Structures are given as structure tokens and as C-alpha cells.
Amino acid sequence: MARVNRFFDDEPLRRPFNKDQFIRLLGYLGPFRKHLLAAFMLMLVATLFGLAGPYIIKLAIDNYIAAGDIKGMIYLTLVFAALTVAIYFINRKRVTMMTGMGQRMLYNMRMDLFQHIEGLSFTFFDSRPAGKIMMRLVNDVNSLNDLLTNGLINVINDFIMLIAIIVIMFSMNVRLTLVSFLLLPALVAIMFGLRSVIRERWQIVRQKNSNMNAYLQENISGMRVTQAFVQEDVNEKIFLELNGDIKTAHMNAIRVNNAFWPLLNIMGAVGNALVFVVGVGMVTRGEVTVGTLVAFTSYIGRFWMPLSTMSNFYNQLLIAMASAERIFEILDTEPEVADKPDAIVLPPIKGHVEFDHVYFYYEPDKPVLRDVSFVVQPGENIALVGPTGAGKSTIINLLARFYDVTGGRVLIDGFDVRDVTLESLRSQLGIVLQDTFLFSGTIMDNIRYGKLDATDEEVIAAAKAVCADDFIREFKNGYFTEVKERGSRLSVGQRQLISFARALLANPRILILDEATSSIDTHTERLVQMGLERLLEGRTSFIIAHRLSTIRNADRIMVVDEGQIKESGTHEELMATGGIYRELYTSQFKWLLAG
């Protein structure tokens, strides 16, 4: 079943590590260089203070405890306490700085991604479930936070700490240092052996989460249909499989990810044991002091700690890069419809439209439009009729340049739509879709969406013009009534009237309308028709028509069939010819006429 399969489609796993993408990712830290430097310096100071602790203990054991010097012990205790308090406040300041920087960085990344998505062509959205796009915008961006803030600074600090510990250990005793390094080659081999497996496992987790997100988005949006057809059990089975995939993927990733830690702990314990055995012998022979051995043992514990966090950083890096790849996959997607470098601003138009030998293919060798040519004069009302899949929607999509023609030209007032900026083109078009979409918010907000700087009076005037004012005022809060997502509290006819008011407020010179097919009551039908007539006044309009009254009132009817304009004329002219239009009209509207 195609609907089910699309939720189980996984993007191919990428190569283990992409250095160029990592460098590109670091670019988001550019605006915060000063903050990063300050945070790094604070961390460095805290680290150096922390490394002084074992050496203070060595001094206490060798110089003061053995000699019973209470005053010296008090002095070292105060120094140790002061360092501990300083470390606390330094780390607190650093965490506050990094948290704020991280949130600003995520804000910038989300804005880049959202703005890019808004500019992508219809083909991008046609080929991807909305849930998977949302996954990248929210979850994948969030997963980069720790890497780009604390992760990078921590790993640099850990590396410096590691070097400092090695220097201190060598300065204290070369032999003990070499003993502590015996297991280091085995640890490095394990780290490099597990890294590719870990990354692949977390990539799979991201894919499964994306599949789930896509399914939930569609399933929740279509819940009324699910319940109407009593298909809850079918959806639960799909969800069960998707949910199981996520659980399995997580468990596989966690098993591999956690395999490193027991090995690290075992190596640390064995290393400490070796140093302790060798060190005790050296103490008995007087080659090192007890304080040196105690301090050395403490440094060994701290030596394994940065190795542990550095290896964890690599795992974190691999996980984050899996998300980064998905984000950059969208950012690198070029819109198929975009402004030319030399695109001009379309001047105020009159509404003259011409299709000049237009061809269009959604897929190679499958033409949707074939050699379509027509001319529409300013203010002319065109009704597009024809069977499903004939190419009617494609014509209006090409007019608004949601897609580019494969061949030929679409001209508005003599300008090829590909030669003008998209903003200057679409700002002069009004588009009313068949599936009337209303945003969460008030009725006032939804109408004002057609012209964001419109006054309340202008919004109300537009609603009155299309016969929407009366029913709006019947609500308790009038124009400030919350309509909720997609306008679910309103009837089909009410949503259509609000969309008419929104289009009228934008005052377009060309109107594109895909007429709703939903059945509405006679009174609302009359209001909708009156609103539509007022909306069309003085405007060039293209209507994919489904209502008898809309078709008969059109200045010209174009019959679209098999990707071509097969017939064109008024209702009376086309009925007289006895062609495709008469057949469609008779089959679809005869029952209306008879009634």
C-alpha cells in the first residue's frame, strides 16, 4: 500500500564523516566568537585550579602531615577551599554564557532553515511528508545545541587538561607515567573501531523518528476521516510497527554506544592497579614519597576522565552530524522556481495574460500540458472546466509561477513571468484555493493576512463587500472570534467567504480561484455567489469552476482535456457546437436543471 510504504522509506545512510559539513556547521558559531573565547578562558582557569588539587594533597602529606605542621595544614585547607569556591562561580558564569549563546545560535539556524523552506518550490513539498520537514526544523536543530556550545569547548578543554596532566605526571615520575600508559593503545583502537558503528546506529534512530513524525502529522490531521471510516485498527497497526522500529533502533544504538564505557572503566581500574603495585614498591624503596603516589593516583583518575569525555564527544559529534546532514540536505536544495539574477520588478499590471505555446511536464515523457496557447484581456472572467487530471490546476500554477514551464512562455502584460521577481508577481495575484486554509487566530487576523498593514476598518469593508460581515457579527466576539487551526469551527461556506474577503483586501489585478466542490446550503450558496461576483468585479480571473452559476456567468469558458485547450467560448457558443463542453455540462448539471 503506497500510503503505508511512504512512512517506512528511509533516506540512505551517508558516509562516516563529512569534514566540509562540519566546517560549515562551525560557521554558526562565528557571530559568537567573543563569547566562545570568554567561556573557554573561564573553563581553562577552572581546569587549572582543579588540577592544583592533587598537588596540594601531595604537599600536605609530604610536608605538613608527616611533620605535624597544623598551621601549614590550615593554610593549604584554606587554599583548597578558595580554589573550590572559585571553580564553582567560574563554572556557573560559563554555563550561563553558553546557554544563552546556544539558544541564540539555534534561533539563527531555525530562521535560516525556515526562510529557506518558505522559498522552496512546490515540487519539494510534493515529494516529502510535512512531518519529516518538521522533524528537521525542530528535533534535528535541537540535537546540535550541545555539540556547538558545550561540546566543542569541552573537548578543547579536555585536550588541554590531558596535555597538562601528562606534563605533570612526567614531571613527578617518568616510570609511573609510562606504566599508566600501557593500556592506552588498546583504548584508542576500541574508540576508532566503534565510531563508524555508533554513527550508523544513530542515523537509523533519526530516520525512524522522522518516519514516526511524518505518520503522526498526517494521521492527526486526518483523524476525522479515520473515525468516519472506522479505520482506527489499521492506523494502530501502522503505528505499532513504526513505534517498534524506533524502540529497536534506540536499543541497538544504546547497546553500541554503551559498550565503550565498561571497557573504559575496566581499563582505568587495571591501570590504577598497575600504578599502585609499582608505586608501592617504589615507596618502600624510597624512590617516591607517599604524597607523590597519592597525587599520582589522583592524576591518573583525571587522565582517564578527559579521555572518556573526548570519546563521548566523538559519539556526540557523529550523532549531531547525522542531524546536520539532514538540515544541510534541505538548505542545499535549490528551489526549482527562483528569481533570475537579473530579474526585474513587475510594474503595476492591468491583467493581460497570454500563454504562448506552453508545455509542461511533472515527469519526463509524461506531458501535462501540450502546446497551450490563449490570450486573456484585462478584466475578463475565465472559467476552466474539464475532467479530473486534464491540466486545469497546472494552468493556474504556471500563471502564479509555482512551477516553471517546460516549454513556451507565460506572459502578464507582456512580461515573461520568469523574468520578473516572484514577490512582485505574486503580490499582484489573488489566490483562493479549493481547500480554504485558515490559520489559528481571529477572523480579523485571517482576513488581514491579505494585507498585513490593513486597518480594522479596511478588513471590515472587505468582509462586507463579499457578504461575510453578517455571519461574522453573529459570533459573540465578532471579528475577534478565534477560528482555531484550519478554521475547524466554521462551515465550508463561511471559510470560503473569509477567503474571498482576504483576497479582496489584497486588491489583486488577477484572481486565481479553485472553486470549492463541497456542498453548502442554499442560503450560504447565494451568499458565496454574491461574494464571488463582487470579488471578480474589474479583475482578470481564472476559475476552476464547479458551480453551474459560475460557469454560465463567465465571459469565456475554456475546456481543458488531455493537457490541451480543446474548446473555448461562451456557454451558449459551446452548447451550440455540441462538443466536449456540452457533454460535460449535460452529464454534470442536467440533474440541477431538471430540479
pLDDT tens per residue across span 314-358: 767 777 887 888 888 888 888 888 899 999 999 999 999 999 999
What whole-number distance in Å separates Cα of residue 175 and Cα of residue 287? 11
Q: What pLDDT does residue 372 have?
A: 94
What are the C-alpha distances in Å from 14 to residues 27, 207, 275, 325? 21, 12, 43, 8
Only one residue has cell 482576513, namely 447
Cell of 130: 510535512
Please determine, for residue 4, whether its predicted confidence score (pLDDT) is greater than 70: no
* Local structure of 427: helix, strand or coil: coil
Q: What pLDDT does residue 1 have?
A: 45
* Average of per-residue pLDDT across 208-235: 75
Please determine, for residue 15, whether its predicted confidence score (pLDDT) is greater than 60: no
Q: What pLDDT does residue 517 have?
A: 47
Q: Considering the entire predicted model, what is its pTM? A: 0.66
**Structure confidence at residue 40 as a pLDDT band (50, 70, 90):** confident
Q: What pLDDT does residue 91 have?
A: 87
* Residue 369: closest CA among 357, 381, 354: 357
Please determine, for residue 156, whether its predicted confidence score (pLDDT) is greater than 50: yes
Q: What pLDDT does residue 485 have?
A: 66
* Average of per-residue pLDDT across 229-255: 85
What whole-number distance in Å separates Cα of residue 300 and Cα of residue 162? 10
**Structure confidence at residue 395 as a pLDDT band (50, 70, 90):** very high
* Local structure of 205: helix, strand or coil: helix
pLDDT digits (tens, 9 = 90+) for 274-324: 888 888 888 888 888 888 888 888 888 787 777 777 766 776 777 788 788
Q: What pLDDT does residue 556 have?
A: 94
* Average of per-residue pLDDT across 42-49: 88
Computed over every residue of the chain, the mean pLDDT equals 83
Q: What pLDDT does residue 8 have?
A: 55
Q: Residues near 185 by Cβ (< 8 Å), separated by ≥ 6?
A: none
Q: What pLDDT does residue 592 have?
A: 46
What is the set of domains in the chain, with CATH numbers?
Answer: 20-331 (1.20.1560.10), 365-420+544-595 (3.40.50.300)
Q: What pLDDT does residue 593 have?
A: 46
Please determine, for residue 378, whether its predicted confidence score (pLDDT) is greater than 80: yes
Q: How far, in whole angstroms, is CA 550 from its chain's centroid?
A: 40
Cell of 483: 477560528
- Which range scores top for mean pLDDT: 403-412, 476-485, 510-519, 548-557? 403-412
pLDDT digits (tens, 9 = 90+) for 69-123: 888 888 888 998 999 999 999 989 988 888 888 888 888 888 988 888 888 877 7
